[in-house]
Amino acid sequence: MHTGEQYHKFILNSPRDQAVRDRFQKIALELLPAGTDMLDFGAGTGIDAKAYAASGHVTFVYEPSEAMRGYLAQYCRDEIDRGTVVTVTSPLACKVQGVTANFAVLNYFADHSSLFEELSRVIHHGGFFLASMLNPYYLGDARYHWWRANVMKLMRSGHYAVPSESGIHRFAPRVVARSAAPHFRLERLIPRGFGTATHLYMFLLFRRA
Ligand SMILES: C[S@@+](CC[C@H](N)C(=O)[O-])C[C@H]1O[C@@H](n2cnc3c(N)ncnc32)[C@H](O)[C@@H]1O
């Protein structure tokens, strides 16, 4: 089990993860009209929240892990004092234009239906939900037994869990899109085509109907 600080240092020192984070933040910031508020769902140690706040968006942060929250409170101390990062104990405590969930937050869920229902009460009509999830088609994982053992299940049902991976689930995008309806529709999926096999993370952009 990571402490918040271990996670924070590890992920910031990984150039590959940083490149993914940069791409994700750029998309989120392009989607947010100037001065609008947002929620970072599963905010971890506040790395994205700090960046969104620096770009002029009051950023609500929801994070269930005490270890992550503890480090977030240190890392975003100035922003919390200024009220540009606001911690919430439930996503329902805010109403925002956009919600982000970066780095596999949705992979901790076995099913997303109730999450999307909840987020439909948090996001303004026309707003968005942007998530990065582990890409189940990433060929770099084909060297692992658990990946090969689950390929047929993935093709059939679009979902499987690996018990040894501390409750992490893998989903085909279509399964997440189905859970999102009728509140959200999948507007964009990145990557597509050849990139589907070469990217560890996929980005799913949902629009609030
Ligand atoms: C890999 S970390 C990513 C943290 C952060 N989003 C980032 O970009 O660094 C996954 C996060 O999902 C959070 N998480 C796990 N289950 C969750 C749930 N049911 N609701 C919200 N967040 C959850 C974990 O506590 C953890 O902080």
Tens-place pLDDT, residues 143-193 = 999 999 999 999 999 999 987 767 899 999 999 999 999 999 999 999 999
The minimum-distance atom of ligand 1 relative to the CA of 8 is 9
Residue written as token pair 């982000």: 100
The dihedrals phi and psi of 207, each to the nearest 5 degrees, come to -110, 130
The minimum-distance atom of ligand 1 relative to the CA of 21 is 8
Write the DSSP string, 167-198: TEEEE-HHHHHHHHTTTEEEEEEES-TTHHHH
Give the per-residue pLDDT at 129: 99
Does pLDDT of 109 surpass 60? yes
Pocket test for ligand 1, best of 17, 21, 108 (most atoms within 8 A of CB): 108
Does pLDDT of 1 surpass 60? no
- The verdict on the CB of residue 44 being under 6 Å from ligand 1 is yes
- The verdict on the CB of residue 91 being under 6 Å from ligand 1 is no
Average pLDDT over residues 13-20: 98
* Whole-angstrom distance, CA of residue 46 vs CA of residue 63: 9
Q: What DSSP state is assigned to residue 24?
A: H
Q: Spell out the CATH class of 4-136+172-208.
A: alpha beta
- The verdict on the CB of residue 103 being under 6 Å from ligand 1 is yes
Average pLDDT over residues 15-31: 98
Give the per-residue pLDDT at 166: 72
Give the per-residue pLDDT at 165: 64
Give the per-residue pLDDT at 167: 86
Q: Give the list of residues 6+ apart from residue 153 with CB closer than 8 angstroms, or none.
A: 159, 160
Dist. CA 118 → ligand 1 center (Å): 17
Dist. CA 103 → ligand 1 center (Å): 7
Q: What is the pTM of this model?
A: 0.97
Average pLDDT over residues 107-133: 98
Which pLDDT tens digit goes with each residue over 45-103?
999 999 999 999 999 999 999 999 999 999 999 999 999 999 999 999 999 999 999 99
Quick one: which of 109, 107, 55 has its CA closest to 84?
55
- The verdict on the CB of residue 104 being under 6 Å from ligand 1 is yes
Residue 68 half-sphere exposure, CB side, CA atoms within 13 Å?
Answer: 18
Pocket test for ligand 1, best of 21, 69, 105, 132 (most atoms within 8 A of CB): 105
Write the residue with the smallest CA distance to atom 23 of ligand 1.
Answer: 42
Give the per-residue pLDDT at 162: 84
Give the per-residue pLDDT at 16: 97
